[in-house]
Amino acid sequence: MTSNHSPFTIYHSLPIVIVGHVDHGKSTLIGRLLYDTGSLPPEKIEEIRRASEATGREMEFSFAMDHLEEERQRGITIDISQTFFSTKKRQYVIIDAPGHKEFLKNMITGTSQAEAALLLLDAVEGVREQTKRHCFILGMLGIKQIVVLINKMDMINYSRERFDALSTEITELFSQLITRPISHPAAVPVPQFPNSPISQSPNLLSYIIPISARYGSNVATRDDRLKWFDGPTVLEALDSFETPEIEGKPLRFPVQDVYPINGKKVIVGRIEAGQINRGEGLRILPEGETASVVSIEKFQEEGLTIARTGECIGLCLDKPAVRGNILVSDTMISPLVTQSIRANIFWMSDKPYHKGEAITFKCATQEVEGKIGNIYRRFDPATIKIVEKDAQEVGPAEIAEVEILLEKPVVVDSFNEIPEMGRFVLEKGGHPVAGGIIP
């Protein structure tokens, strides 16, 4: 849509999310990023210019977002959730823009996973409640590459003193709120919430940068009025981040179905991480039986020897498998196979949940009955306050740290390692009531 790259260039795109209190400048920054990276077509720039002039302003970059949002609502833009821009280094996808209002819910329920986050803060208004809430949720999701942007520096006369004061406040906030998610394998779950030791949270907050989204200072280019700042621009900061490396991860192949084709049993699914080689030894989880890959089947492709992350394929094994099995590599790091999961959930249903009520746990192609056995802590994400410890229920729009007890073992990973295997949905009576992630 808004990308200007050659179709022949291979990009590893980095999904980012842009968050912040309303009016702190998200739309303006997105418009600015698209404009400064040459991702907006000339006719769109002209439109923005005309719309801005009509309201007596210079370039109002937030119009770019308004325009995309309008297109989205009228159903013009085909792929609504993908807004791209590119630097010389790589392509970026801004998650849930335009119309990024639902992003928190989307992120918590796991429909979108950002690898890096830009958190905007209005230099005049300072830290607001929503700023704190966003810090909290970014931390809970385990996003490790965060840049705080102190925006509207033009409105405070590019004051270094004010920037320093806000930086101190933000650093303090992060050290209180954010704990680093445990690394894979998630054998011993630890609390991922506030009040955990600060020592667990190195390097989450990567940079704090003074910017003016409206005038483009420190976005793609520097500004003399901010020459006292010797850190990176927004684009430099983003380019310093790492891209996800799903391909090199251990194999995760959730079995979707098994079809009899020409006398063979073909096991169908999508490779969520890693790769599969013909002849390779696999394990069929949760039982753990070993098997080897006899053939890799793909429509109109003969004699395949390898299949990679993201591919939907059929497999013939020398052992039977069923829907809900997870095939993993015999030699690389194994996932957790467990009947008890410690996780963070976001309660979406209007009705509260009472401890012990039956729920269905769904992760990848797995579906197992169970219940929430422990509600360690309930949080109100608006205030980031613990509502209650060792609670008996979870209410609408609350976040809770819980233990889910299942009737049969399931195969899961840390959300940060392999997103698809670390997020889940809870259902009650056939309706989704909560989304969750395994830290």
Q: Does 316 bind ligand GDP (CB under 6 A)?
A: no
Q: Which stretch binds ligand GDP (CB under 6 A): 22-30, 69-77, 274-282, 313-321?
A: 22-30
- Identify which of residues 214 and 377 has a Cβ nearer to ligand GDP in the complex: 214
Q: What angle do CA 301, 302, 305 make, to 5 degrees?
A: 100
Q: Does 24 bind ligand GDP (CB under 6 A)?
A: yes
Q: Which stretch binds ligand GDP (CB under 6 A): 4-12, 24-32, 36-44, 172-180?
A: 24-32
Q: Does 233 bind ligand GDP (CB under 6 A)?
A: no
Neighbours of 331 (CB within 10 A): 12
Q: Does 365 bind ligand GDP (CB under 6 A)?
A: no
Neighbours of 166 (CB within 10 A): 21
- Identify which of residues 232 and 352 has a Cβ nearer to ligand GDP in the complex: 232
Identity of the amino acid at 334 = S
Interface with ligand GDP (CB under 6 A), residue from 132, 133, 152, 252: 152
Convert residues 40-79 into a mask of x (bound to ligand GDP by CB under 6 A) and - (unbound): --------------------x-x-----------------
Q: Does 131 bind ligand GDP (CB under 6 A)?
A: no
Give the interface size with ligand GDP as a residue count (CB under 6 A): 17
Q: Which stretch binds ligand GDP (CB under 6 A): 42-50, 212-220, 319-327, 356-364?
A: 212-220
- Asked whether the beta carbons of 353 and 434 are under 8 A apart, the reply is yes
Q: Does 27 bind ligand GDP (CB under 6 A)?
A: yes
Q: Does 133 bind ligand GDP (CB under 6 A)?
A: no
Interface with ligand GDP (CB under 6 A), residue from 2, 151, 218, 233: 151
Q: Nearest distance from residue 6's CB to ligand GDP, in Å?
A: 30
Neighbours of 372 (CB within 10 A): 24
Interface with ligand GDP (CB under 6 A), residue from 127, 155, 316, 386: 155
DSSP type of residue 268: E
Is the bond preceding residue 185 a cis peptide, omega within 30 degrees? yes
Q: Does 210 bind ligand GDP (CB under 6 A)?
A: no
Structure tokens at 322: 């069923």
Structure tokens at 142: 């385990």
| Spatial CA neighbour of 205 closest among 231, 243, 226 | 231
Structure tokens at 313: 């394929």
Q: Which stretch binds ligand GDP (CB under 6 A): 86-94, 148-156, 294-302, 408-416?
A: 148-156
Neighbours of 62 (CB within 10 A): 21
| DSSP strand pairing (366-380 vs 399-412) | antiparallel
Q: Nearest distance from residue 346's CB to ligand GDP, in Å?
A: 22
| C-alpha to C-alpha distance for 30 and 27, rounded to whole angstroms | 5
| C-alpha to C-alpha distance for 271 and 276, rounded to whole angstroms | 8
- What DSSP line would sit under 279-309, residue for residue? T-EEEEETTTEEEEEEEEEETTEEEE-EE-T
- Identify which of residues 153 and 328 has a Cβ nearer to ligand GDP in the complex: 153
Q: Nearest distance from residue 89's CB to ligand GDP, in Å?
A: 25
- What DSSP line would sit under 30-56, residue for residue? HHHHHHHTT-S-HHHHHHHHHHHHHTT
Q: Does 83 bind ligand GDP (CB under 6 A)?
A: no
| C-alpha to C-alpha distance for 203 and 199, rounded to whole angstroms | 10
Q: Does 28 bind ligand GDP (CB under 6 A)?
A: yes
Q: Nearest distance from residue 143's CB to ligand GDP, in Å?
A: 19
Q: What does the binding site for ligand GDP look like in residue numbers (CB under 6 A)?
A: 20, 22-28, 60, 62, 151-152, 154-155, 212-214
